[in-house]
A = this chain, B = another copy of it.
Amino acid sequence: MVNANQSYIKQCFPVLEERLYQEIIETCSYHEFPSSTYVVKQGAYLNFLPVVLKGQIKMYAEEEDVQFLLYYINSGESCILSFNHLFDPKPVQFSAITEEDTVVMTLPVAKVKEWVIRYPTFARILISDFQRNFEDLLRTTKEIVCFGIEDRLIKYLENKCKRGNCNQVHLSHKQIALDLGTSREVISRITKKLEKAGVLAQQKRYIELLQA
């Protein structure tokens, strides 16, 4: 298992000095999470850098008894889960929940700070991963503000299909509602409407997106 994890590290950090790679292997620790569990809870203080080696995680904002999906973190590129606590010991402002069985590697913050200075490519990886997160968050924000729920639901389903590489979405209306920060009834109504419009078909246990 450890060997598998080591190969995941190479995938996450494609261009990495061999010495840094060795250091990472020596200092990291691995954590496995089943699907639908919290990896990070909003408000927690982290003293490590979490990296998604395998699987998929969704980032959630939780505020005032409303919660909603911010963006996804995948293994492979752009796999660093959180940065904001790196240089400033503040509680994280979001939660991270696994979407599937997931392996997370943690690196001590002190080491990471050191590596940013010592290994230029490491800093660069951090920056570009960070950029990706920022872009994802900005896109989500715009969608929330500028689009109605119907459009957002369609985008959400399309996105699910793309990332699952099939045109079925195996989620209950309630789970979808949670991700979109709304209620089950609203999702029920819109899916019905979209079904009539021929955008999707609702099977017993899943939703199927039609059209290209």
Contacts and interface: CB of A to CB of B under 8 A. Distances in A.
Interface of A: 61, 63-64, 66, 68, 70, 83-84, 86-88, 93-94, 116-118, 120-121, 123-124, 126-128, 130-131, 133-135, 137-142, 144-147, 181
Contact of A134 (B66, B120, B128, B133): B133
Interface centre among A66, A94, A130, A147 (most CB of B within 10 A): A130
Q: This chain: how many copies in the complex? A: 2
B86 A145 contact: no
Main secondary structure, interface of A, reads: helix
Nearest to A68: B145
Contacts of A126: 127
A86 B70 CA distance: 23
Top 10 closest A-B pairs, CB basis?
A: A123-B123, A117-B120, A63-B146, A141-B141, A64-B146, A63-B142, A66-B146, A87-B128, A84-B131, A130-B130
B131 A127 contact: no
